[in-house]
Amino acid sequence: MAVNPAKVILRQGKTALFICDVQEKFAKAIFQFDKIIQNSTKLISALKIMNVPMLVSEQNPKSLGKTIPQLDISGAKGPFAKMQFSMCTPEINKELAIFCNGEKPESIVLMGVETHVCVENTAVDLRQYGYEVHTVADCCSSRTQEDRLLALERMRDIGCHITTSENVIFKLMRDANSEQFKTILSLIKTPTPYTGLVPLSKI
């Protein structure tokens, strides 16, 4: 099925970033966690430069800990504690309604853990609410690669755009003449580490 090109566009001022449950207790359990954090750090840093609003959730923080300190979530809304798997709690939905300069965003860039649990449940709810969802595959993971990959397939099936950190950055920046380009260029000079999303035989 052909995708409407207009729906794949990410626009500054109309896009928000959701950071889902990247917490301390997950660090030793999540597949390729260090690589996911490396990619996430790059994404968050670039989106901060472009003034993309960010919202952070934490699943049962009393048990799973706080968001890991490697991620700079200063200036983000939250962290919002939750027990349900989806980030779309009443509190967060209320915030989202005025998240982009008093208006709802068009698109949500979604990253975090676990891909097949909280990330996927969030994506399902956001799609039901009518948002374009861009799931950042190289900034999402689960305890197993199998759960991660199957969750990304299911999210694609419900209309999410499965993307990468650099793809999001360049879609938002749009132009090498952008005043933000030189600053962001230093972040993207280091290649994104391979995380097994595409078999090496296809690269």
Residue 114 placed within a domain: yes
Is the model more confident about 163 or about 198? 163
Q: Looking at residue 2, what is its pLDDT?
A: 56
Query: What does the pLDDT read at residue 85?
Result: 98
Question: What pLDDT score was predicted for residue 199?
Answer: 61
| pLDDT over 70 at 61, yes or no | yes
Domain assignment present for residue 197? The answer is no
pLDDT surpassing 50 at residue 201: no
Q: What is the mean pLDDT of residues 48-76?
A: 96
Q: What is the pLDDT of residue 41?
A: 95
48 catalytic, yes or no? no
Number of domains in the chain: 1
pLDDT, mean over the chain: 92
| CATH number, domain with residue 92 | 3.40.50.850
Residue owning tokens 């968050």 = 44
In a domain, 192, yes or no: no
Residue 176: pLDDT band (50, 70, 90) is confident
Would you say residue 125 lies in a domain?
yes
pLDDT score at 177: 82
Tell me, yes or no, whether 89 lies in a domain: yes
pLDDT for the residue numbered 194: 77
Question: Are the C-beta atoms of 149 and 59 separated by less than 8 Å?
Answer: no
pLDDT at site 101:
81
- Quickly tell me which residue has 């008093």 as its tokens: 102
Please indicate, yes or no, if residue 5 is contained in any of the structural domains. Answer: no
pLDDT digit string, tens, across residues 88-125: 999 999 999 998 888 899 999 999 999 999 999 999 99
Tens digits of per-residue pLDDT, 133-173?
A: 999 999 999 999 999 999 999 999 999 999 999 999 999 99
- Check whether 189 has a pLDDT greater than 90: no
Q: State the Cα–Cα distance between residues 66 and 69, nearest whole angstrom.
A: 8
Q: What is the pTM of this model?
A: 0.93
Tell me the pLDDT band of 195, cut-offs 50, 70 and 90. confident
Q: Establish whether 82 is a catalytic residue.
A: yes
Q: Which of 20, 42, 82, 125 is catalytic?
A: 82
Give me the domain span that covers residue 60. Answer: 11-173+180-187
Query: Encoding tokens for residue 74?
Result: 């200063």
Q: How many residues does the chain have?
A: 203
Sheet containing 107-113, strands listed edge to edge, beginning at the edge strand earlier in sequence: 77-82, 54-59, 15-20, 107-113, 132-141, 161-163
CA 119 – CA 135 distance, rounded (Å): 8
Among the listed residues 88, 118, 140, 160, the single catalytic one is 118
Residue 24 belongs to a domain: yes
| pLDDT per residue as tens digits for the range 2-46 | 566 667 889 999 999 999 999 999 999 999 999 999 999 999 999
Marked catalytic residue, from 20, 21, 100, 138 = 21
159 within some domain: yes
Checking 165-171 for CB contacts under 8 A at 24+ apart, the result is 165/39, 165/40, 165/42, 165/43, 165/136, 165/138, 165/139, 165/192, 166/42, 166/192, 168/10, 168/43, 168/47, 168/109, 168/134, 168/136, 169/42, 169/43, 169/46, 169/47, 171/8, 171/9, 171/10
> Is-catalytic flag, 118?
yes
